[in-house]
Structure 1
Amino acid sequence: MTGVHLREITDENRDAVCALRVRKHQRKFVASVSCSLEDAADEPEENPWYRAVYSGEEPVGFVMVSLPDSDGRFYLWRLLIDKRHQGRGIGREVLAQIVDTVRSEGGSELFTSYEPGKGAPGPFYRKFGFEPTGEIDDGEIVLKLSLR
């Protein structure tokens, strides 16, 4: 998908980005943007790097990555695509851009995790190439994407 790009969150776009929402049944799997920004501020040791996702000039999502986290792993911490923009390939494009970012930072693996349940994002991540590690972290299934 063309036109999808990442931008810093600033005073000018913060309210619009924080207003983005997932579908009701997805809320238990994805924290809000406001909560994510609070987590980033509360956990600086995780090296949070976050951006607004834009399609053209419209904010359509949010992504947050640890570059790397306190365990030395590059970790996809949050990925949120607004409910009005899901199903258009935006999430896949954002992941591709995150992979490029992690590679440019010297990473060879990208980790993420999700809470299991109906409607969980596991199939989305697996389709992209993430594989289960066998690890469970705080009830979440941990996945790894090899970037080699």
Structure 2
Amino acid sequence: MSTSLRLEKITPANVDAALALRVHPHQEQNVAPVVRSLAEAYAFGDHAWPRLIFDGDELVGFLMAFLDIPWNEEKDPADRRSGLWRLNISADAQGKGYGRFAVEAVREELRRRGERRFHVTWEPGEDGPGAFYDKLGFRPTGELSGGQTVAVLDV
């Protein structure tokens, strides 16, 4: 993995590249496209943390964290969570450590913000990212969120 990895905010200068980012076709059912994530980031305001992943000058991925979002207000108004909402690694950049870098970058941001737990959800299934998150130490909680597996990692 390159030592020139970094996260960047989405700006007018890079938004078109962000919107053009594509995962493998067989993964499209598992992760929303960047355009949907950016619309949700706009709607959720300060609760969304979208970033582009660059290796040098090359855009290799997109991530969006969720920050201090009410999880189930009817059941427990105090249950607020933070974690990884979306992770899109470009089809031609997968398998090179960029996903791991993204997860660690979100973990560091959550640590900086004083969070103790890092949540993630994913679509279950053969082409889903469950094995990836399992390798990184996430533990399924037994919960489902919109049909997705919920897992947690200590920050």
* TM-score normalised by the chain length of structure 2: 0.90
* Equivalence map 1:52-131=2 (5 Å): 52-71=52-71, 72-131=80-139
Is residue 64–residue 84 contact of structure 2 (8 Å, CA) maintained in 1? Answer: yes
Q: Aligned equivalents of 1:41 and 1:100: distance in 2?
A: 23
Aligned to 1:146: 154
Q: Aligned equivalents of 2:115 and 2:44: distance in 1?
A: 21
Aligned CA RMSD, in angstroms, stands at 1.1
Note if 1:20 corresponds to 2:18. Answer: no
Count, aligned residues: 146
Identical aligned residues as a percent: 40
Cα displacement (A) at 1:146? 1.0
Cα displacement (A) at 1:42? 2.5
Q: Aligned equivalents of 2:107 and 2:5: distance in 1?
A: 15
Deviation string, structure 1 residues 67-100 (Cα, Å, up to 9, x no partner): 2212321121001100010000110011111111
Structure 1: 5+ residue runs without aligned partners? none
Aligned to 1:40: 41
- Runs (4+) off by over 2 Å: 42-45
Structure 2: 5+ residue runs without aligned partners? 72-79
Cα displacement (A) at 1:14? 0.3
Structure with more of its chain in strand, by fraction: 2
